[in-house]
Structure 1
Amino acid sequence: MDMEGIKERVGYYKELLRLFWLTVVTIGGGLAGIIASPSALDKGNILFLAVVGVVLIITFIVGISKLHRDITALIKKLEQEG
């Protein structure tokens, strides 16, 4: 892969990383809102939504760590070639 392709991929991964972080923050905020106002839902729904929210957050954090490793590897490759 040439330098320009690596730079483009790093840019793409950076945007994806931002999107993943934004998603984690959004899900976390929604989860906090659901837990903070339990009067709107019954206990079963709150528990279900809390579990789904936590699973989604963990999934996105795993994706974030993989993206971070990929970006770091591509930057090292750029440094070696450039």
Structure 2
Amino acid sequence: MNDTQSLPTLPDRLSVNPRSPYHVAEIFEHDIGIRLNGKERTDVEEYCISEGWALVSAHKALDRRGQPLMRTVKGTVEAYYR
């Protein structure tokens, strides 16, 4: 797997939402994994490694614009390519 040298480096803060200023489209061309407090999470919408938090959706709850409600989970955040 020498393909990791051609992958872009993962930023300190990244968002899945294309309207966010922290969204980087070329990173999402590859599989990304997020580990929060040693446990792999698949429902992360945005993360910040240096500040130690991740935004996850609050199940099926929606706001008045139809966007999912988010809650902040704090801890050790690791981002990696799968």
Task: Quickly name the TM-score band, shorter chain normalised.
Answer: under 0.3
Q: Which has the higher helix share?
A: 1
Q: Which has the higher strand share?
A: 2
TM-score between the two structures when normalised by the length of structure 1 = 0.22
Looking at CA atoms only, which structure, 1 or 2, has the larger radius of gyration? 1
The structure with higher relative contact order (CA 8 Å, sep 6+) is: 1
TM-score between the two structures when normalised by the length of structure 2 = 0.22
